[in-house]
Structure 1
Amino acid sequence: MAGINKVILVGHLGKDPEVRHLESGASVANFTLATNDYYKDKSGTRIERTEWHNITAWRGLAEVAEKYLKKGHQIYVEGKIRTRQYQDKDNQTRYITEIVADEITMLGGRPHADGQQSQNQQPVEAQTFRQEPEIDQLPF
């Protein structure tokens, strides 16, 4: 049986997506996503813990991220966890773990131009975008 590599996150963008357009014509977007955990310590004090996730979106999803996503927006991300290595400027091997998005759903109401959501605004239907598989990713 093959393994399963699936990640589901719901959180808020920590910054606007940074989008690059590669020579091949492909687009790639990188952004951070914050998820929060809450627990009580021994004294009963409620503690909040924020986990930061590096998100990478390719091609059509990168274009969606560039056009619609802004710092503070709440989104649902579904994808795969990947760890890659690279050489830093001091020629040291570094590792980064990221989520490669297959699907992004924008949650909540439609934000204002400044990224804030109106208090009086009715929520709109969530809009989902999916990454189409590459030809070499098809199972047949």
Structure 2
Amino acid sequence: MNVVHILGRIGKIDSRSFENGNMTTLSVATDESYKKDGQRIEKTEWHNIVFNGKLADVISKYFDKGDLIRLSGKLRTRSWEKDGQKHFQTEILANDFEFLPNGKKSNDKQPVVNNSSDDNNDDDDDDLPF
């Protein structure tokens, strides 16, 4: 099963339009801390996220750098060749997200929940995975 759940803060946002629809990419930072030899270690991991179609439109319209987001999707690794060298990138293809209150950052945005797998969204929050 290829399922990923991320809760973190948005870094950069980039939106693009193509003939077959829109795409928005994000970087999302997740933090973890642990103790090693009595010292507290904090680590930030950056994740590349891709939203397509209607989700891309909502993300680019309502989300900003620093916003807290919870999302789910699946891992995908792309590869390409440039100047004779093979490159790889692992990213998360997002299919669901939730806008969360930002805590430290004051913001008057309202929460947004969108499930792309349900095109006939009946606004029934009882079956949300979060």
From 85, 91, 109, give the equivalent of 1:92.
85
From 27, 33, 45, give the equivalent of 1:32.
27
From 102, 108, 118, give the equivalent of 2:101.
108
8 Å contact 1:58–1:131 — kept in the other structure?
Answer: no
Q: Which residue of structure 2 lines up, in the alignment, with residue 138 of structure 1?
A: none
Q: 1:130 Cα shift?
A: 1.9
TM-score with structure 2 setting the length: 0.82
SS at match of 1:61: helix
TM-score with structure 1 setting the length: 0.77
CA distance in 1, matches of 2:62, 2:44: 24
Q: 1:91 Cα shift?
A: 3.2
In the alignment, is residue 128 of structure 1 matched against residue 129 of structure 2? no
Larger radius of gyration: 1
In the alignment, is residue 21 of structure 1 matched against residue 10 of structure 2? no
CA distance in 2, matches of 1:71, 1:62: 15
Q: Which residue of structure 1 lines up, in the alignment, with residue 71 of structure 2?
A: 77
Q: List gaps (5 residues or longer) in structure 2.
A: 120-130
RMSD: 2.4
